[in-house]
Chains A and B, each alone.
Chain A
Amino acid sequence: MAESGTIDTSTVDTSTVDTSTGTTAQNGTRGVSRYVLRVIAVGYLFFLLVLPVALIVWRTFGDGLGPFVEALTSSSALHAFQVTLVVALWAVALNTVFGVGAALLLVRHDFPGKRLLGAFVDLPMAVSPVVVGLALILLYGRFSPVGGLLESWGLQIIFSTPGMVLATVFVALPLVVRSVVPVLEELGDEQEQAAHTLGASRFQTFLRITLPGIRSALAYGVVLCLARSLGEYGAVAVVSGRLVDQTQTLTLFVEERFQNFDQPAAFAAATALALLAVVTLLLTRLLRPKD
């Protein structure tokens, strides 16, 4: 890599050009400043990210795999896993369908208020998770007209799974849309038009032309959305009522165990979530659209 890039080096790297022309004293300070910057950057990341996460992993596995497995196979932990999975899968499914539809709408169609729709799609990023929870309670809570009506039909939203799905959908809403939009823009619609002229139905065109084109961007968005859904804490904490063994997700389990001085269980669940995060990172690394 370094050898094949020798020609590159002289054009890409300004400092290398400097080295050959500048005085030795200047080279010295340049080398030192580069080294200093590198140490600051890597040191900051090490103490802020790497060391804290590594410490938790080390504490979790310090006494071997046994306690880790034991802590995660307690009935509460298993239930939390199950709740997390159900909520996340619903949220990802809904946001994927919405995300692809909204992206197609924003890129392929023209209508008044398009900019506004784009802004609304991005809005959830600016809202605190707690405010998300409060907002959903105000609309779907038992004492609101809508929530009361739904409850009279036997559908409880708040303090139950549907509310947690809504909260998760809210916080993860922009991820699929924003992953798919740039790729759709780049693809253009010539192939879609060609398919259409050749008599393909709109559904066929989508399935055979559009979907393969956005496949990796969609996968990228879905992975991001899944990670966000599995890890959501604040919004779910508000709307779930945090009922142990009922509406407790894995992130709520971490907090509840920690507050109850059950560190091994809290650390084990946190490590499990951190491992999921690392898998997500690697997946997104593979899927990230290259430009």
Chain B
Amino acid sequence: MSVETPSRTAPPPRAGARRRRRVSGGTALGLGSAVLYLSLIVLIPLALVVVRSTDEGLGYFWKAVTTPDAWAALTLTIGASAVVALVNLVLGTLIAWVLVRDRFPGKAIVDTLIDLPFALPTIVAGLVLLALYGPESPLGVNLAYSRAGVGLALLFVTLPFVVRTVQPVLIELDKDMEQAAASLGASPFQTFRRIILPNLVPAMLSGTALAFTRAISEFGSTVLISGNLPFRTQVAAVNIFSQIEGDNTTGAAAISTVLLVVALVALLALDLLQRWGSRRG
């Protein structure tokens, strides 16, 4: 026993030292390959977009962004995405609530369905929406080539974000406080507003920020249902696409840069929210 103890305690530091030595060589090689891969596929190409957007000076950049059709596309995209994000904030939380707190036959199927927009190709999403809510709608609802149609497509593709960020928090939520509030005479609404909601807010806002980021960059699902009418239903991604097709890469790069910046600001806000949430939690 007494002989064994030192030999048992000895290996860890030795292993640790060996690991550290092994790490430095392996890390350098691995890090080099990873950075090279990311650079060739993601970082250098994206940097070139930003560089190209200011190729002909900031004046040209500003002009490209504020051409009437580009400006209309950008404002529509950001406005519609904000509305869609807010709808998701409310309905996504509601759906997460029903999935966690309610019980009904077929709930597991509904839960699985939430991820459908992630699995379904965006062009197919646009096509199925156009079939049901287009000119040949069996319901008699025609949203094709309208801003409502754009909103519908964005609602489809952003559905999972708020649900899937709120759901786990709701599952983890301690029910003792709710029961205490209820036994002290709080109404269900009061319990929700004072006890449940404050705990959910960070997750709700994270999901909303993700949905917003996704919505401003959406392309495939809006192509068919929006009809791409400049000034009316053309979203920013489609505007970029048509500029690329028209060989105006500088203009396309300028609008792309604006989209990138808006997305990064939203994600930065999300990061701050998550830190705020974890500090509270």
Contacts and interface: CB of A to CB of B under 8 A. Distances in A.
A30 interface: yes
Contacts of A101: 30, 33-34
Interface stretch (A74-82, A121-129, A212-220): A121-129
A105 B256 contact: no
A230 interface: yes
A49 B41 contact: no
A197 B15 contact: yes
A53 B116 contact: yes
A71 B44 CA distance: 41
A231 B175 contact: no
Interface string B203-240: 00000000001001111100110000000000011101
Choose among B23, B26, B49, B138 the residue with the greatest number of A CB atoms under 10 Å from its CB.
B49
A25 interface: no
Q: Please classify the interface of chain A as helix (H, G, I), strand (E, B), loop, or mixed, using the class held by over half of its residues.
A: helix
B91 interface: yes
Determine the interface band of chain A, counting residues with CB < 8 A from chain B: 35 or more
Contacts, number: 257
A181 interface: no
A72 interface: no
Given A137-B244, A237-B241, A105 B182 contact: no
Contacts of B256: 128, 130-131, 134-135
A193 interface: yes
A128 B119 contact: no
A49 B240 contact: no
A14 B175 contact: yes
A127 B46 contact: yes
Chain B binding surface SS class: helix
A221 to B, nearest CB: 13
Contact of B241 (A102, A170, A238, A280): A238
Given A120-B42, A126-B263, A231-B124, A59 B217 contact: no
A207 interface: no
Contact of B264 (A117, A126, A231, A233): A126
B16 to A, nearest CB: 8
A173 B244 contact: no
Contacts of A83: none
Contacts of B135: none
Nearest to A140: B45
Interface string B111-152: 011111111111110011101110000100000000000001
Given A138-B45, A274-B120, A50 B112 contact: no
A41 to B, nearest CB: 4
A140 B244 CA distance: 15
A124 B43 CA distance: 10
14 contacts: A14-B178, A42-B98, A49-B113, A52-B131, A52-B133, A55-B128, A120-B38, A120-B42, A130-B244, A131-B260, A138-B249, A189-B19, A196-B22, A277-B119
Interface of A: 11-14, 17-18, 21, 30, 33-34, 37-38, 40-42, 44-45, 48-53, 55-56, 59, 98, 101-102, 104-105, 108-111, 117, 120-121, 123-140, 166, 169-170, 173, 189, 193, 196-197, 202, 224, 227, 230-234, 237-238, 251, 254-255, 258, 266-267, 270, 273-274, 277-278, 280-282, 284-285
